[in-house]
Structure 1
Amino acid sequence: MAMTSTNGATSTVANGHTNGSHKPPIRIAGASGGFSDRQRAISSLAKLDIEVIVGDWLSECTMSLHGAEKAANDELRAEGKLTSEPAGLYDPTFMENLSPALDDIARKGIKVAVNAGASDTARLASVVEEEVNRRGLGLKVAYVEGDEVTETVKSMMKEGEEFRSLMTGKPLKEWGYTPLSAQCYLGGAGIAEALRSGADIVICGRVSDAAPAVGAGMWWHGWDREKDFNQIAGALVCGHLVECAAYVCGGYYSGFKSLMEGCENLGYPIAELAADGTCTITKEPNTGGEVSVGTVSSQILYEIQGPLYFGSDVTAVLEGIVMTQEGKDRVKVAGVKGLPPPVTTKVGLTAFGGYQAEFSVYICGLDLEAKAEWIERQIRYSAGDAVKELTCFKFQLVGYSPENPRNQEIATAVLRIFVQTKNKDLVSKSTLDVPGLNRWAMDNGLQGCPGWTLSNDQRLSEGKVYYEYDVTLIPQSRVEHRVALPWINKTLDIPPAKELREYPRDQASYETKDPVDLNSFGPTTRGPMGWIVGGRSGDKAADANVGFYVRHDDEWDWLRSILTIPKIKDLLDQEYKGRKVERFEIPGIRAVHFLLREHLDRGFNSTSTLDTLGKNVCEYLRAKYVDIPNKFLHRGKF
């Protein structure tokens, strides 16, 4: 797919319309939030009355794995040891999603813009093009490239560039690992230009999760990326709302118990994005779930990091967001303000970490903590001096036995033993004659505490390779953002916006400006905060974010007054890692948000925690007891 190159794609015209026209809202359907999403989505959505389908099949986890595999293949190729062409390093499920929908997409003129190409975007575009041609559909397939910045990062490091971790603020040289791959997050401008050039399907490698919706909005409404910051910021928030598919329609919703009827098949979202940047969120008909201020507020709070939400095209200010329930399954989102995009964009770094393994022991009934201590002391004794070669050695008691348990399963907990090491021999096999994790644990089977029970599946105790992942920033000026248009044998360079702004790493953090005396709310009952407080949490590498919201104005006065930074540290209890906690508010949705720095023990691929994606931070905190005003409880619980 060789291309020629032209410079400076800056058109702001969409289908002959310029900004300020009275064009109706563009209907954007969110089809996927990750490779584990349901495969029916594109096919179902293509049968509806929409203009664009967007979706994301990638994550930090998948990008890291694909990036590492690409680096390994490149090394083998350079050494002449690559005996056959490897499988494409794009999402392997994408074609199963797209293929059944192609006839409807072609017949109805629906556009598609997706994150699915990972480390082999051009190859996936070719696969899509081959399927389109095989079926005689005549759809034009473009692809966006430039997210692969491995050599750029390595070159800048040699030039003395001091990259700093976005999580810790420390220089990359203190990380202790050598990057194998580096992939940055592109914006939506390239997608917009592909659509303006006639593309029907746009395949991206790693644009930001919200970028497909941003690009669709810029194309449809003809926004000027150099000045229409409010509108583009509204599209960025719109994209954030639909990027995780059914999340905004009831997935992960604190009020999930009210949605049990129909939960087997939650609907996928459709956003109506207007010319002024406001949007209305709806969902596909005749499906479970709901679109409410609660479900939409939940998704707004997911994986944000402060009052500013950064994209390569714009910076959105979240504090002024307001939501209005316009009808059943219809929520209008307004109040988003825009600022110029940042000078930099995020780049994920993948490095070889070592090997990891785990071993589980089941224990039951009384004295679980004492039983766990017994096992830990014995296994550490068996490991002996080998512990010096472990970079991580953790014992985690998972679960508890309630009083007077009604069955044995409820009374059973798991002691999880987790190790990481650079020495493959310590975790290389799960057979009994190899010294290492499995042997250390098995040595103590007959010396164990009462009820010590071996799992009948030992495969996890055989080590696997894991990768370290960190995030830093790279100047947008060093990124070669391009759009390939194969049907005319052409590429378009997409330069950064002319006005870029420098933003500090740490965003504004503050307590509420006028807290209310908690005694003024009257008599209280001690109980879980989640009785009246909803929320959502997520991950960004090692950082966890968690946001909480309530349903009524007087509850908002209580929430913003009780949820201070010291209070959240107190509620975290033993989970508080001693790191920085940042706080801000979104009054329009009655929400308080916290960013917990370095809370998750690195990222998904290397973390030792059970909460690999930060999604359970919120549910843990909602289970913590606080003094809840009785008058709130009378309204009903989540």
Structure 2
Amino acid sequence: MTSLAKNHEKDPIDVLVGDWMSEANMTVRAGTKVNGQLDAYEPTFLEALEPALPYIYKYRIKVAVNAGAADTQKLHTAVKKMVQALGLDLSVAWISGDEVLPQLVDAQRRGESPFEDICTEENLEDWQFEPMYAQAYLGGLGIAKAFEMGADIVVCGRVSDASPVIGAAYWWHKWQRSDLDQLANAFVAGHLSECSSYSVGGNYTGFKDLEPLGWEKIGYPIVEIAHSGHVVVTKNKGSGGLVSVNTLTSQFLYEIQGPWYFNSDVTAILDDISFEHVSADRVALRGVRGALPPPTTKVGITAKPIYQAEMHWFMTGLDISAKGRMVETQIRTLLAPYISKFTHLSFQIIGSVPENPSNQNAATVDFRVIAQARKAEDLAPAKFARPCLDPIMCAYPGATPHLDLRQAFPKEIFEYYVTLIPQSAIHHRVHLGSGETIDVTPPLKTKVYSKNQPTHNDTTSAMGLETFGATVAAPLGTIVHARSGDKGSDCNVGFWVRYPDEYAWLQNLLSTSFMQDYLLGEEYKGGRVERFEFKGLKAVHFLLKDHLDRGVSCTSSVDFLGKNCAEFLRCRTVDVPLRFLARGRI
């Protein structure tokens, strides 16, 4: 925040926005709020804000963030004290209404909705866990109203990731709710910018091209939004990284779940989306259309905590699978008196040994034992850590347990449930620095959309793969970019290429059946797979329903954010046309 605000005279910005919320933050802060031991907002926001405040004041830059987590009012108080301590005349407002557990419980009791999990299709009454906190994703119009009423800084809890940008643009341009195309473009602009450096080269499969530009100082995206809704994405001057069609395609494909993109204020229709290179580090957004928002919004429900513990062993060299079977058998035998109290137990081999490894580290893999239980005492050291460690003298050749046993002690984790709640049930309010409170009404016009996104198992532009000429077996990622990420327990993954003929090949190669039967391999668990093509991006996108073992807050996977799913799929071997490889690898 300081680097952006301080450089205002050379690189002016009007509004600083920030997204501090993720499903991991939501669940952890919910637990903090309920146990009452600590303030349940995001303290790193205050760390970022304090040194930036003199420049925010000097240049009259507005600020809108969703760092309130589960304690927005307390964050508001902390920001006010910080502003006053610096002697700055800045008005601070806050947004409430995202905490919705009472409304959800009342509606469930009256039988108004089954509150179906949008990832698993489970009904809330069948969920095996007790809700303790629920947060709805609010839109951006409360932020817009706060700015309109003179607020300089607006702190929010769980507004949607893009809502600070939507709210800022709505206020600045004096838009109306009926300006759907403009709102939709601001919505997409918000998602292109809310993930910090991702649009500037972070988490990007073309990362090797960025090394000459400076891996150590990748910058931050800046979105320029016109009254017409026209969007150009750039970055802060003097920083490393890159804003390009490819970096923006990467961020876009990570965020979406299909061609319909929902927000409390608008639905973005993305069938015709594309990016246009304007000049160095300046890329225009094209083809986004707006439609009415849905009558509902997403709500994340956090359950009372369960507990998790894990133990690691190192295995080196030959016969890794057999070594794993041996120590698993021994550990299971010792766990037998306690295992009935576990809700989850798995044994995982992480990594593999290459042929003729050049050093010992290359020949070493991680054997991971992970268990979960409803009560901490069911994972007490005598019931988990000790049985996992005791086989040391009778296990496989080279048996070496990790001697840092901190992870083997039980820690709190939180089950998470994602459903929908009517916007009309939410009490969205703006709290101004003066003490005045303003209600934000839900949209009067909405549209009900199908539960599932449009999906096409195969391309409508069918061509035989043999028409692309001679091939060689190579990793998919030699010529194909990809990006993936979590949405609850769903995982979305998008693939895109550089040239039109490569796209024709990609469309025909990446069918739903090819994804399920080959690419995912043993990772495919039988869930629904939705597929959509984005011609303007030369991209094929998949939504893997319920793929991530319950989501980031409680998953047993080491890929807890789903971000390495794409990297796994890119290393899968396919038949790549030789003429594509002749152009060079990514």
Q: TM-score range by the shorter chain?
A: over 0.9
Alignment-derived partner of residue 420 in structure 1: 372
Q: Structure 2: 5+ residue runs without aligned partners? A: none
- How far did residue 125 of structure 1 move? 1.2
Give 2:38's match in structure 1, choosing from 57, 78, 87: 87
CA distance in 1, matches of 2:79, 2:380: 40
- How far did residue 353 of structure 1 move? 4.2
1:304-319 alignment runs, 5 A limit:
304-319=256-271
CA distance in 2, matches of 1:194, 1:476: 20
- How far did residue 41 of structure 1 move? 5.2
CA distance in 2, matches of 1:171, 1:495: 28
Alignment-derived partner of residue 331 in structure 2: 379
SS at structure 1 position matched to 2:185: helix
Matched, 1:614 2:562: yes
String of CA shifts for 1:93-119, please: whole Å, max 9, x gaps.
111100111111111111111010111
| Cα pair 1:42 1:97 within 8 Å, conserved | no
**Alpha carbons of 1:416 and 1:41: their partners in 2 closer, same or farther (altered >3 Å)?**
farther
Give 1:518's match in structure 2, choosing from 449, 457, 465: 465
CA distance in 2, matches of 1:454, 1:567: 39
1:269-418 alignment runs, 5 A limit:
269-418=221-370
Alignment-derived partner of residue 208 in structure 2: 257
| Paired amino acid for 1:493 | D
Q: Give every structure 1 segment of 4 or more consecutive aligned residues whose post-TM-superposition deviation is greater than 4 Å.
A: 40-47
CA distance in 2, matches of 1:87, 1:448: 44
SS at structure 2 position matched to 1:600: coil
Give 1:501's match in structure 2, choosing from 432, 437, 447: 447
- How far did residue 428 of structure 1 move? 2.1
| Cα pair 2:430 2:440 within 8 Å, conserved | yes
SS at structure 2 position matched to 1:93: helix
TM-score after normalising by structure 1: 0.89
CA distance in 2, matches of 1:401, 1:535: 25
Alignment-derived partner of residue 407 in structure 2: 460
| Cα pair 2:191 2:255 within 8 Å, conserved | no
CA distance in 1, matches of 2:466, 2:228: 43
- How far did residue 564 of structure 1 move? 0.5
| Paired amino acid for 1:577 | K
- How far did residue 385 of structure 1 move? 4.0
| Cα pair 1:305 1:595 within 8 Å, conserved | yes
String of CA shifts for 1:395-425, please: whole Å, max 9, x gaps.
0101111111111111111100000112433
Alignment-derived partner of residue 437 in structure 2: 491
CA distance in 1, matches of 2:526, 2:23: 25
1:132-143 alignment runs, 5 A limit:
132-143=83-94
- How far did residue 476 of structure 1 move? 0.1
Matched, 1:590 2:531: no
Matched, 1:150 2:101: yes
Alignment-derived partner of residue 20 in structure 2: 57
CA distance in 2, matches of 1:41, 1:600: 36
Alignment-derived partner of residue 425 in structure 2: 478
Matched, 1:572 2:520: yes
Give 2:146's match in structure 1, choosing from 194, 215, 230: 194
**Alpha carbons of 1:368 and 1:478: their partners in 2 closer, same or farther (altered >3 Å)?**
same
**Alpha carbons of 1:463 and 1:528: their partners in 2 closer, same or farther (altered >3 Å)?**
same
SS at structure 1 position matched to 2:361: coil
Alignment-derived partner of residue 497 in structure 2: 550
- How far did residue 44 of structure 1 move? 5.3
SS at structure 2 position matched to 1:355: strand
- How far did residue 525 of structure 1 move? 1.1
| Paired amino acid for 1:202 | V
SS at structure 2 position matched to 1:90: coil
SS at structure 2 position matched to 1:214: helix
Q: Which has the higher mean CA deviation after the structures are superposed, 335-344 or 157-166?
A: 157-166
| Cα pair 1:46 1:101 within 8 Å, conserved | no
**Alpha carbons of 1:41 and 1:350: their partners in 2 closer, same or farther (altered >3 Å)?**
farther
Matched, 1:106 2:57: yes
Q: Which has the higher mean CA deviation after the structures are superposed, 265-274 or 86-95?
A: 86-95
| Cα pair 1:307 1:317 within 8 Å, conserved | yes
| Paired amino acid for 1:497 | P
- How far did residue 504 of structure 1 move? 2.1
| Cα pair 2:259 2:453 within 8 Å, conserved | yes
| Cα pair 1:43 1:98 within 8 Å, conserved | no
CA distance in 2, matches of 1:170, 1:131: 45
Would you say how many aligned residue pairs link Structure 1 and Structure 2?
Answer: 581
Alignment-derived partner of residue 481 in structure 2: 534
| Paired amino acid for 1:582 | E
Alignment-derived partner of residue 68 in structure 2: 117
SS at structure 2 position matched to 1:165: coil
| Cα pair 1:41 1:268 within 8 Å, conserved | no
- How far did residue 616 of structure 1 move? 0.4
CA distance in 2, matches of 1:480, 1:365: 60
Alignment-derived partner of residue 32 in structure 2: 69
String of CA shifts for 1:454-502, please: whole Å, max 9, x gaps.
2120111111121100100000000000111122x21110011110111
| Cα pair 2:312 2:402 within 8 Å, conserved | yes
CA distance in 1, matches of 2:539, 2:7: 32
| Cα pair 1:42 1:98 within 8 Å, conserved | no
Alignment-derived partner of residue 218 in structure 1: 170
- How far did residue 354 of structure 1 move? 1.7
Matched, 1:244 2:244: no
Percent of aligned positions that are identical: 46
String of CA shifts for 1:311-354, please: whole Å, max 9, x gaps.
00000011211111111111111110111001000000000242
CA distance in 2, matches of 1:616, 1:54: 27
CA distance in 1, matches of 2:85, 2:235: 32
CA distance in 2, matches of 1:535, 1:295: 11
String of CA shifts for 1:191-223, please: whole Å, max 9, x gaps.
111111111111011100001001111111111
Q: Which has the higher mean CA deviation after the structures are superposed, 512-521 or 597-606?
A: 512-521
Alignment-derived partner of residue 203 in structure 1: 155
**Alpha carbons of 1:106 and 1:505: their partners in 2 closer, same or farther (altered >3 Å)?**
same
| Paired amino acid for 1:55 | G
SS at structure 1 position matched to 2:208: helix
CA distance in 1, matches of 2:66, 2:570: 33
Give 1:601's match in structure 2, choosing from 532, 549, 557: 549
- How far did residue 66 of structure 1 move? 1.2
| Cα pair 2:6 2:55 within 8 Å, conserved | no
- How far did residue 386 of structure 1 move? 2.3
- How far did residue 178 of structure 1 move? 1.2
CA distance in 2, matches of 1:335, 1:480: 34
**Alpha carbons of 1:499 and 1:157: their partners in 2 closer, same or farther (altered >3 Å)?**
same
| Cα pair 2:5 2:61 within 8 Å, conserved | no
CA distance in 1, matches of 2:306, 2:84: 44
SS at structure 2 position matched to 1:260: helix
CA distance in 2, matches of 1:372, 1:421: 23
Cα RMSD between the aligned structures? 1.3
| Cα pair 2:19 2:65 within 8 Å, conserved | yes
CA distance in 2, matches of 1:621, 1:205: 35
TM-score after normalising by structure 2: 0.97
| Paired amino acid for 1:70 | K
Give 2:508's match in structure 1, choosing from 549, 556, 561: 561
